[in-house]
Amino acid sequence: MQGLSLNTMVLNNSLFNYLLALLFLLIVYGVIKLFDRFILARMNLLIKKFSTSFAILLRKIIKKRAYPLLYILAIYLAVHQLSVVNRAARFINYILMILTVILTVLALLDLLVYSLKKYWQKRQQSYEQQKLLGATVFLIKTLVWIIAALFILDNLNIEITGLVTGLGIGGVAIAFAAQNILTDLFNYITIFFDKPFDIGDFIITGDYKGSIEHIGIKTTRIRSLSGEEIIISNTDLVNSRINNYKRMQKRRINFSFGLTYNTSLEKLKKVPQLVQEIITSLDKTEFDRAHFAEYASSSLLFQVVYYVTDSDYKLYMDIQEQINFALKEKFNQLGIEFAFPTQTIYLANQSEQILNQEVSTVENSRGEN
């Protein structure tokens, strides 16, 4: 009996080819075991210092996604070292391709869902936002799996042009049927990610103003200053201009007051410095300017500009009230009076004109007589 050699043929393959195929499997198995024992644990400890949840995710992706992909690669290389019937070879390649796509999609979805959830956790989650997270994850998974299925069908040499066309027409029909709902949903997503306002912010949009109480999937609710609830669709909000006063870092205040015309020049010159001292003595204020602006119809008009380094409207009103009280107190001490609308009628001149007219009338009457 002739001895076995590496060139001995078994089922149309030499023993050398079988050994080479087995070698690929053993190498991949050995690499995975070495990585799992000496590298993965240390890498896991390092990543846990920054994020425990990401370390758990990475370990899951490596053990459940990457390791099977390596085994699939090893089987693919092993099969290509052997002479296999064409149909069997194609079947094996198709199975390996499908498994590769599935494992790759699962890994990508793991990363994507993890990123979305971490992003959501950084924000205060309402019940609607939690539902939106679930709906968003479902839509993303559906879209990714549809793309993966089309990719698999295309690689299986199945004609997908008609299928893609049908999906496109169906998608357009669904989009038209649910146009308003989808518009509000996408605008809610825009509000959620762009963050033009948050709950509690005081905003003005068009003719409406108030504090944000609730941001829903379809509408946003605003509590107006007079107390009623204003419900505005998200589409209207996204398409309108919004003044968000809560995000104002500091408030610019411009106010004026008038003094009487009999105020002396010496006292007028003291007023700007007096106003500056009052404003700078208060907390959370920045003085800008104070000037004798103009000779108004019934007053000597002063204009003042300062900043409140806080967006709170009540704080601004408290500061303005303190300034008004201080101005009144200081002006009383200096004998300066605030002006108010007045009209001076010179009765003496009018009486003299009337008297002259009466004298002229009497003289004219005598002359005629």
Name which residue leads in pLDDT, 305 or 310.
Answer: 305
Closest CA to 250 of 316, 321, 169, 159: 316
pLDDT for 162 equals 60
- Number of Cβ within 10 Å of residue 105's Cβ equals 18
pLDDT for 337 equals 93
With cut-offs at 50, 70 and 90, classify the pLDDT of residue 275: very high
Find residue 61's DSSP bridge partners.
none
Closest CA to 259 of 321, 312, 303: 303
CATH architecture for residues 187-244: Roll (2.30)
Name which residue leads in pLDDT, 251 or 327.
Answer: 327
Interval 167-183 mean pLDDT: 58
CA gap 224, 212 in Å, rounded: 9
For the chain, counts of helices (H) and of strands (E): 12, 10
What's the token pair of residue 21?
A: 């195929």
Interval 269-291 mean pLDDT: 94
With cut-offs at 50, 70 and 90, classify the pLDDT of residue 305: very high
237-273: per-residue pLDDT in tens? Answer: 888 888 887 777 788 999 999 999 999 999 999 999 9
- Please give the full DSSP string across 228-258, using - where no structure is assigned: -EEEEEHHHHHTS-EEESTT-SSEEEEEEEE
Average confidence score pLDDT of the chain: 77
Name which residue leads in pLDDT, 63 or 321.
Answer: 321
Kind and range of the H or E run holding 223: strand 219-224
pLDDT for 204 equals 87
CA gap 160, 168 in Å, rounded: 12
Contact 271, 292 (CB under 8 A): yes
With cut-offs at 50, 70 and 90, classify the pLDDT of residue 292: very high
Interval 2-18 mean pLDDT: 60
CA gap 279, 272 in Å, rounded: 11
Task: Classify domain 251-334 at the CATH class level.
Answer: alpha beta
284: left (phi over 0), alpha (psi -120 to 50) or beta: left
Domains in the chain: boundaries: 9-122, 187-244, 251-334
* CA 264 to centroid of chain Cα atoms: 56
Name which residue leads in pLDDT, 7 or 63.
Answer: 63
- Number of Cβ within 10 Å of residue 152's Cβ equals 17
66-122: per-residue pLDDT in tens? Answer: 878 887 777 777 776 666 545 666 777 778 788 888 888 888 888 888 887 777 666
* CA 310 to centroid of chain Cα atoms: 22
187-244 and 251-334: identical CATH topology: no
pLDDT for 288 equals 94
Q: What is the CA radius of gyration of the chain?
A: 42
pLDDT for 29 equals 78
pLDDT for 202 equals 85
Interval 333-353 mean pLDDT: 70
pLDDT for 362 equals 44
